[in-house]
Structure 1
Amino acid sequence: MADVQEYRTSRRYELFSYLPQMTPEQIRKQVLYLISKGWNPSVEHVEPHRSMERFWYMWKLPMFGEQSAEVVLAELEECRRAYPDHLVRLVGYDNYTQSQGIAFVVYRGQGS
C-alpha cells in the first residue's frame, strides 16, 4: 500500500491514477487485456488544463478489430511524440455494450 498516492497531492485521471506511473510492460499487459476482451482500442489526447472536460481529441480513428499490441503501443507513442505536453489516454470501446470497457491515462505529459 505504500505505492498508493495521496488524493490531495496531485490531479487524478481515470483508472489507475492513484498508482505510480505504469511501466512499459504494465501498459503492454493492459493493451493485451483490452484486445483479449475484443474491445476496439482508441487513443485520445488533451491539454492538461482541459483534462477534466468531457471531450478529448481523438488521435486518428479507433483501431477497429486490432489484434496487435505492438500496433496499439506504436500509436500511443506516436501520439505522445506529436503532443509531448498533452495527456494521452487509451480507451477500449466495447461493441456489445456500446460503452467504454476501459479508459486510462498512459502518458501524463511533460507539463502535468
Structure 2
Amino acid sequence: MSEMQDYKSRLSDPGSRKFETFSYLPAMSKDEMKKQVQYIVDQGWNPAVEHTEPEHLMDSYWYMWKLPMFGETDVDKILGEAEACHKANPNNHVRLIGYNNFTQSQGTSMVIYRGKTV
C-alpha cells in the first residue's frame, strides 16, 4: 500500500487552501468544463454562477452573479456567463452550481476559475 499524501493546506496560507474535490486536480480545460456543464443540463438542474475573493473562500457566503439560470439548457450561454463573471472579477474564485429542484439542494458545485492568491 502506498503512503497517503498530506496536502499542506493551511488557513494562514491562502495559496494552499483546497475548497472542493476538483481543487486537488489541475485546472479544467474548456472541453472538461463544457462536459461538466452538459452534465448539469442533462440532470435537469438549474445552473448558477457565484464568486468570492480568495481570502474569503472558506466563508459560507459567495456573491451571486446575476440570478440562477432557471431552465437554461444552452451550454455555451452558461459558460459565457461564467466567463463574464470571471472577466468582471479576475481576482476572484468563480464557481458553477447545479441546483436540483427535486431535492431542493445543490446537485453539484465546482470552482471553474481560480482567483489570484495572496
What's the TM-score, normalizing by structure 2?
0.87
After TM superposition, the structure 1 = structure 2 runs for residues 87-102 of structure 1, keeping only pairs within 5 Å, are: 87-102=93-108
- The separation in 2 between residues aligned to 1:14 and 1:41, in whole angstroms, is 18
Paired amino acid for 1:8: K
Which aligned segments of 4 or more residues in structure 1 are displaced greater than 4 angstroms? none
Q: What value does the CA root-mean-square deviation take over the aligned residues? A: 1.4
- The separation in 1 between residues aligned to 2:24 and 2:117, in whole angstroms, is 19
Deviation at 1:111, TM superposition (A): 3.5
1:45 and 2:80 are equivalent in the alignment: no
- The separation in 1 between residues aligned to 2:90 and 2:6, in whole angstroms, is 26
Deviation at 1:23, TM superposition (A): 0.5
Percent identical: 53
Q: How many residues align?
A: 108
- The separation in 1 between residues aligned to 2:21 and 2:86, in whole angstroms, is 19
Paired amino acid for 1:89: R
Paired amino acid for 1:84: P
1:8 and 2:8 are equivalent in the alignment: yes
After TM superposition, the structure 1 = structure 2 runs for residues 25-44 of structure 1, keeping only pairs within 5 Å, are: 25-44=31-50
Q: Deviations over 1:13-71 (max 9, x none)?
A: 21311111111100000000000000000000000000000010000000000010000
Deviation at 1:11, TM superposition (A): 1.2
- The separation in 1 between residues aligned to 2:7 and 2:33, in whole angstroms, is 22
Deviates more, 1:54-63 or 1:5-14: 5-14
Structure exhibiting the larger radius of gyration computed from Cα positions: 2
- Stretches of structure 1 that go unaligned for 5 or more consecutive residues are none
Deviation at 1:8, TM superposition (A): 1.2
What's the TM-score, normalizing by structure 1?
0.91
- Stretches of structure 2 that go unaligned for 5 or more consecutive residues are 10-15
